[in-house]
């Protein structure tokens, strides 16, 4: 039990981190409340891993303040390491080690570890427990890395792209595990490029770009956006002439073909709009397939905020 349960699990204020002249993190603020899950989203190179590594105590900040479980991750690193779990990006095992050896080694450093054999079984690694690290699949390496992060019963876990390279079954397993950690009161800070992962797991989302926070809030508050804005999507043959549809619809709706044969109408979508669209399609002799009406997704919000161009 923490002596200061009211303190956030992680509190970052005005964090600055430079690599030479490159400002990787540029005055970033975030707060992870105890027993909650925070997802850090951002394009490649936005500064997510750097932020997480500063919180873990692996990198020194150039400015700002960072408190993790009420401690300074650089000064109080030894005390902190016993209480946190870290799943770094890209695994981290050495080539000849076997999963059961590595996990038992990590467990031996913890005061009250979970049973390594049980954890390997839960993570579907039982049959691979004697396989050398270099022969594990990418998804198995990821699961082993997660096991190492969890075996010490941490109060707080940092998961850097935890499901990268995993198949859908393994991804579901990790999602269930993160849900179970949260139920147990564990705090989780994760980075991800998967918007559905953030929507499914996170209580709070922080979107960063060029080292700065560009939006933060619950997934629902971020997607609620501009009031009653919704999206009507349908699929039909590519290249429909949309000008007549625009004329038939009320003003203020954005109508476009986003990808070949994928149509999007954004704005205030009411039953009359749906009726107009389906009637127009019927007049054109086309079937509107997969017609859906939904609010904007977190991915739409993300792309609006961070742009659609590729990052280097």
Residues near ligand ATP, by CB under 6 A: 19, 22, 24, 42, 44-50
Closer residue to ligand ATP in complex, CB, 290/309 = 309
CB of 294 to ligand ATP, least distance (A): 27
In eight-state DSSP terms, residue 114 is P
CB of 49 to ligand ATP, least distance (A): 3
Closer residue to ligand ATP in complex, CB, 44/258 = 44
In angstroms, the CA 75 to CA 63 distance is 15
Asked whether the beta carbons of 65 and 55 are under 8 A apart, the reply is: no
Helix pair angle (99-108, 138-150), 10° resolution: 20
Asked whether the beta carbons of 42 and 208 are under 8 A apart, the reply is: yes
CB of 46 to ligand ATP, least distance (A): 4
CB of 310 to ligand ATP, least distance (A): 12
In angstroms, the CA 167 to CA 174 distance is 11
| 30: β partners | 12
CB of 17 to ligand ATP, least distance (A): 8
Closer residue to ligand ATP in complex, CB, 59/98 = 59
Closer residue to ligand ATP in complex, CB, 17/98 = 17
Closer residue to ligand ATP in complex, CB, 24/103 = 24
Asked whether the beta carbons of 40 and 30 are under 8 A apart, the reply is: yes
57 to 54, 76, 229: CA distances (angstroms): 5, 9, 42
CB of 63 to ligand ATP, least distance (A): 15
User: What backbone phi and psi angles, to 5 degrees, belong to 213?
Assistant: -75, 125
CB of 22 to ligand ATP, least distance (A): 5
Closer residue to ligand ATP in complex, CB, 147/190 = 190
Closer residue to ligand ATP in complex, CB, 48/141 = 48
Vertex 173, ends 219 and 194: CA angle to 5°? 35
Q: Which two tokens stand for residue 70?
A: 């009420």
Element (H, E) at 185: none
CB of 83 to ligand ATP, least distance (A): 24
Closer residue to ligand ATP in complex, CB, 80/208 = 208
H-helix segments, the chain: 48-56, 77-81, 99-108, 116-122, 138-150, 168-183, 195-201, 219-224, 243-248, 271-284, 298-306
């Amino acid at each position: 039990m923490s002596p200061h349960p009211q303190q956030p699990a992680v509190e970052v204020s005005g964090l600055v981190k430079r690599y030479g002249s490159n400002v990787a993190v540029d005055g970033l603020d975030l707060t992870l409340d105890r027993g909650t899950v925070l997802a850090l989203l951002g394009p490649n190179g936005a500064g997510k891993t750097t932020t997480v590594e500063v919180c873990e105590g692996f990198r020194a900040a150039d400015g700002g303040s960072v408190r993790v479980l009420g401690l300074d991750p650089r000064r109080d690193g030894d005390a902190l390491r016993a209480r946190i779990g870290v799943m770094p990006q890209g695994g981290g095992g050495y080539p000849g080690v076997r999963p059961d050896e590595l996990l038992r080694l990590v467990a031996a450093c913890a005061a009250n570890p979970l049973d390594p054999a049980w954890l390997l079984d839960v993570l579907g690694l039982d049959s691979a427990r004697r396989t050398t690290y270099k022969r594990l699949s990418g998804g198995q390496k990821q699961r082993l890395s997660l096991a190492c992060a969890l075996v010490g019963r941490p109060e707080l876990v940092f998961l850097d792209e935890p499901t990268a390279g995993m198949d859908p079954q393994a991804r579901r397993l990790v999602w269930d595990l993160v849900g179970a950690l949260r139920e147990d009161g564990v705090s989780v800070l994760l980075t991800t490029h998967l918007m559905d992962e953030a929507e499914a797991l996170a209580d709070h989302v922080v979107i960063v770009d060029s080292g700065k926070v560009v939006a933060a809030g619950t997934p629902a508050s971020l997607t609620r956006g501009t009031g009653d804005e919704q999206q009507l999507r349908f699929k039909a043959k590519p290249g429909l002439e949309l000008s007549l549809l625009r004329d038939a619809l009320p003003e203020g709706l954005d109508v476009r073909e986003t990808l070949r044969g994928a149509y999007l109408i954004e704005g205030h979508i009411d039953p009359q709009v749906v009726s107009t669209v389906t009637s127009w399609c019927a007049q054109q002799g086309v079937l509107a397939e997969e017609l859906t009406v939904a609010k904007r997704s977190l991915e739409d919000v993300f792309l609006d905020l961070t742009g659609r161009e590729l990052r280097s």
